[in-house]
Amino acid sequence: MNRIAVYCGSATPEDTRYMELAADVGRTLAQRGIGVVYGGGKAGLMGAVAYAALEEGGEVIGIIPQALKDMEVANLDCSELHVVDTMHQRKQYFTDLSDGFITLPGGVGTMDELWEAISWAQLGYHQSPVGLLNAFGFYDGLVEFNAHMAKVGFVRPMHQGIMQVSDTLDGLLAKMEAYEPIKTIVQMKVDDL
């Protein structure tokens, strides 16, 4: 993987572990020669990922909508900063510029990005690994809910492994490196759906 899109919150939680985690992710990716593609902001976990990667000499590509740039929240220190019109374009850039996706703790926007990456993998719009870093048990409920969707039958058996989960970055990167693309919905016959 040459570049990984990192999805995470723009908030700064009171619990400092989250900011430390984000900085560690940015630093580690840069040390491994993996470029960071992210939301282009300078605040919260987003900023921590980007600045730590930049301090290590890593490539950091930010993708930010014009409306957020106008609010002066853009990280102008990025190796590249792409300004787009919509959130849809932002997510398309994430997919186009990345070889994989890692989701750190975050809120609604982070969830939107994670589920779209998973949905696009199911459909065949990309074949990249989708990782969920479940640090501090933050995503325990989400992992349980994903298993529940599969158990009920809303996630096909061949798609249950799209979301790669680990509570450590090293473990997650190892899983993502070993990921083998699945049979996508567009490759199936109607009777298989």
pLDDT tens per residue across span 67-110? 999 998 999 999 999 999 999 999 999 999 999 999 999 999 99
The mean pLDDT of 119-140, rounded to a whole number, is 95
Q: What percent of the chain has pLDDT over 90?
A: 87
Contact 159, 179 (CB under 8 A): no
pLDDT at 192: 64
* Lookup result for tokens 């994670």: 114
pLDDT at 191: 61
| DSSP class of 137 | G
Q: Please name each of the domains of the chain with its CATH number.
A: 3-192 (3.40.50.450)
| DSSP class of 153 | T
| Burial label, 113 (beta-carbon count in 10 A; 0-12, 13-18, 19+) | buried
pTM for the model: 0.93
Q: What percent of the chain has pLDDT over 70?
A: 95
CA atoms of 61 and 38, how far apart (whole Å): 6
Confidence bin at 165 (pLDDT 50/70/90): very high
| DSSP class of 155 | S
Residue 161: count of CB within 10 angstroms of its CB: 16
CA atoms of 11 and 170, how far apart (whole Å): 24
The Cα angle at residue 170 between residues 168 and 176, in degrees rounded to 5: 100
Check whether 156 has a pLDDT greater than 90: no
SS3 133: strand
CA atoms of 19 and 14, how far apart (whole Å): 9
Q: Of 5, 78, 94, 4, which is closest to residue 41 (Cα–Cα)? A: 78
CA dihedral (127, 119, 80, 173) positive or negative: negative
pLDDT at 186: 63
